[in-house]
A and B are shown apart, each in its own frame.
Chain A
Amino acid sequence: DQQVKQNSPSLSVQEGRISILNCDYTNSMFDYFLWYKKYPAEGPTFLISISSIKDKNEDGRFTVFLNKSAKHLSLHIVPSQPGDSAVYFCAASALPGSARQLTFGSGTQLTVLP
């Protein structure tokens, strides 16, 4: 039972255009969401996050939107650059106790074409 789903395994976008990566979740206890970026043969690196008390968070070219009623979040990258080509993972966490365990989606491979 996947609690965090990324239904698009891959996405290709032209350089300079907008990239939109989507993520759906089923667990209503999740209250914090993160996006990680991963290059081949490297570990995931933190990109941007959003708390459930917000519906938008922006950091430079990256914006994350959260729609709690739809249990859906999206990552917008504007403008897309070739260096953005990587696998993007959506992750979510709740706080049942003393540690924030992350539940990851399966990832979306973004390819930005020059």
Chain B
Amino acid sequence: NAGVTQTPKFRVLKTGQSMTLLCAQDMNHEYMYWYRQDPGMGLRLIHYSVGEGTTAKGEVPDGYNVSRLKKQNFLLGLESAAPSQTSVYFCASSSPGGQTQYFGPGTRLLVL
């Protein structure tokens, strides 16, 4: 039982490049979330999903897209990376009745 896993752990991109971050959970959770964390700030919600095939915008969605084709996976895409997207990205999952979100280990992204 791995919980929430994220790949890759670290990535360097050049401005304008694209990439996809993968989140997987084996807890059969309906809800999944993507956050970013910047220095001196708390985690901010980018997008979330309440079930397979559904997605919704969070607090800071601009420049990101997401997909939830399978219940256990939640993908975060950057179509054209910008230096402002340098951050640590965390994925989380929870059950509909549960109040607690469980987080992955994070992906550190550097955009040059």
Contacts and interface: CB of A to CB of B under 8 A. Distances in A.
Interface of A: 4, 6, 9, 32, 34, 36, 41-46, 49, 89, 91, 93, 98-107
Given A99-B48, A99-B50, A104-B42, A43 B104 contact: yes
Contacts of A32: 99
Given A41-B106, A42-B106, A99-B31, A34 B42 contact: no
A89 B43 contact: yes
Given A43-B90, A46-B101, A98-B50, 18 more contacts: A34-B100, A36-B103, A41-B105, A42-B106, A43-B103, A43-B104, A49-B100, A89-B43, A91-B42, A93-B99, A101-B33, A101-B45, A101-B58, A102-B101, A104-B42, A104-B43, A106-B40, A106-B41
27 contacts: A4-B42, A9-B40, A41-B105, A42-B106, A43-B4, A43-B92, A43-B103, A43-B105, A44-B43, A44-B90, A44-B103, A89-B43, A91-B42, A93-B99, A98-B50, A98-B96, A99-B31, A99-B56, A100-B94, A101-B33, A101-B58, A102-B33, A102-B43, A102-B45, A102-B101, A105-B42, A106-B42
Contacts of A106: 40-42
A34 B103 CA distance: 14
Interface residues of B, number: 25
A46 B100 contact: yes
A43 B106 contact: yes
Contacts of B31: 99-100
B60 to A, nearest CB: 12
A55 B56 CA distance: 33
B102 interface: yes
A104 B99 contact: no
B43 A42 contact: no
A91 B92 CA distance: 14
B110 to A, nearest CB: 15
